[in-house]
């Protein structure tokens, strides 16, 4: 099992290096590519999704007419895990608004999801989807990815990446998400 993990890391690092090299040849750095993807997503319809949540199907229909904060993550992503406390605080501050919904997506196993939910005391909905669906939902970008979607299902904001330092995470969640959500609500 350990050799499989090492192999995946090597392949992932090679792909990342190859992707960086390809981008550099085109005159774009990785950050510019991510920012361009973020800008392209604004104003587009959020992709259709459907996943099981507490033995019920949860889909776009469940959030129609609501402002939705969407977060995509996986457990082996340090910035993803660093956000969990701040995202809980964000959810807690807005959860009583009837026109607000907070959902997250991951492709981790149910066992891993349960462990992360317990460890970080996650209060919001965590939906398990395939890795392919995670990338489709996050505009084929990196992790973590967070989006704000309006009541008509239109992406109003998208942010890719994050910090690993707790104070930077708290500040960025407040600056990037909370203020924008208040404007939408």
pLDDT of residue 133: 97
Q: Are 177 and 185 in contact (CB under 8 A)?
A: no
Long-range CB contacts for residues 164-171, cutoff 8 Å, separation at least 24: 164/78, 164/79, 164/82, 165/82, 166/82, 166/85, 169/79, 169/82, 169/83, 169/85, 169/86, 170/85, 170/86, 170/89
**Kind of pairing between the strands at 56-59 and 155-160:** unpaired
pLDDT of residue 36: 74
In whole angstroms, what is the distance from residue 25 CA to residue 27 CA?
Answer: 5
In whole angstroms, what is the distance from residue 2 CA to residue 7 CA?
Answer: 9
Residues in a beta bridge with 103: 70, 125
Long-range CB contacts for residues 177-184, cutoff 8 Å, separation at least 24: 177/69, 177/90, 177/146, 177/148, 178/90, 178/93, 178/94, 180/148, 180/156, 181/67, 181/69, 181/90, 181/94, 181/100, 181/148, 184/67, 184/148, 184/150, 184/156
Q: Are 34 and 142 in contact (CB under 8 A)?
A: yes
- The CATH number assigned to the domain with range 42-184 reads 3.40.30.10
pLDDT of residue 27: 55
Q: Are 155 and 39 in contact (CB under 8 A)?
A: no
pLDDT tens for the chain, 185 residues long, are: 544 433 343 334 333 333 333 344 455 666 776 677 777 888 999 999 999 999 999 999 999 999 999 999 999 999 999 999 999 999 999 999 999 999 999 999 999 999 999 999 999 999 999 999 999 999 888 899 999 999 999 999 999 998 899 889 999 898 889 989 998 88
């Amino acid at each position: 099992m350990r050799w499989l993990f090492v192999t995946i890391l090597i392949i992932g690092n090679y792909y990342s290096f190859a992707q960086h090299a390809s981008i550099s040849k085109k005159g774009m750095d990785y950050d510019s590519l991510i920012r361009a993807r973020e800008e392209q997503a604004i104003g587009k319809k959020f992709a259709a999704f459907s996943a099981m949540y507490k033995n019920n199907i949860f889909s776009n229909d469940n959030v129609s007419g609501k402002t939705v904060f969407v977060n995509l993550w996986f457990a082996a992503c340090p910035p993803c895990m660093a956000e969990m406390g701040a995202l809980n605080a964000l959810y807690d501050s807005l959860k009583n608004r009837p026109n607000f919904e907070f959902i997250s997506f991951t492709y981790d196993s149910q066992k891993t999801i349960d462990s992360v939910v317990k460890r970080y005391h996650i209060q919001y909905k965590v939906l398990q989807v395939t890795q392919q669906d995670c990338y489709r939902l996050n505009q084929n970008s990196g992790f973590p990815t967070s989006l704000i979607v309006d009541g008509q299902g239109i992406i109003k904001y998208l942010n890719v990446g994050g910090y690993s330092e707790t104070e930077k995470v708290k500040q960025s969640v407040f600056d990037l998400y909370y203020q924008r959500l208040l404007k939408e609500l």
